[in-house]
Amino acid sequence: MNFDWAKMKNVQKIHRVLYANGFGPLIGRIILLLTTTGRSSGMKRVTPLQYEMIGADYYLGSARGMCSDWVRNIQANPQVELRVGVKHFYGTAEVISDPSRFADFMEVRLQRHPRMIGFIMQKAHGLPRRPSREQLEDLAKNEAFVIVHPTTFSEN
């Protein structure tokens, strides 16, 4: 299945603009802004991402797995910033590639957002809208997710 990553980059630009123009409280329900430090440049890199809050932690899926720039940046430096709606805080990120934990995460996502995640499973991965546990664990071979553990909160 061929997914158009160029279109995804355009969607991410729109999310950054929406946050910049005060719509963070609205889109912050499903989209956060992750700031990582570039592994080569040392510059701050902002990536809008869908997330799930599980307990006190933020779970971020990486559709491009370990190849995503933001995941590779986290591997080099796990200290990150998050902006979720009007909240801004720092955290430590943990990259997870274990197939069982990935399947657990995707099952939560499918339960909370069956239409949206089912559509992504079908279009981006060529899977049925309700993939089996075995299919999710198989998908994990090329995927990853990140758990951000919040540490310090800021007012801005």
Q: What is the pLDDT of residues 29-67, one digit of tens each?
A: 888 999 999 999 999 999 999 899 999 999 998 877 788
* pLDDT given at position 17: 73
Tell me the CATH number for domain 5-154: 2.30.110.10
Per the CB < 8 A criterion, the answer to whether 50 and 12 are in contact is no
The residue count of the chain comes to: 156
Tell me how far apart the alpha carbons of residues 87 and 41 are, in angstroms, rounded to a whole number: 27
Domain map (residue ranges) of the chain: 5-154
Tell me how far apart the alpha carbons of residues 4 and 149 are, in angstroms, rounded to a whole number: 31
Tokens of 62: 């990486």
Q: What is the pLDDT of residues 74-125, one digit of tens each?
A: 999 999 999 998 899 999 999 998 999 999 999 999 999 999 899 988 888 8
* Phi, psi for residue 86 in degrees, rounded to 5: -100, -5
Tell me how far apart the alpha carbons of residues 27 and 85 are, in angstroms, rounded to a whole number: 7
Tell me how far apart the alpha carbons of residues 116 and 22 are, in angstroms, rounded to a whole number: 25
DSSP state of 68: S
| Terminal CA-CA length for the chain | 41
pTM (2 decimals)?
A: 0.84
pLDDT average, residue stretch 17-21 = 73
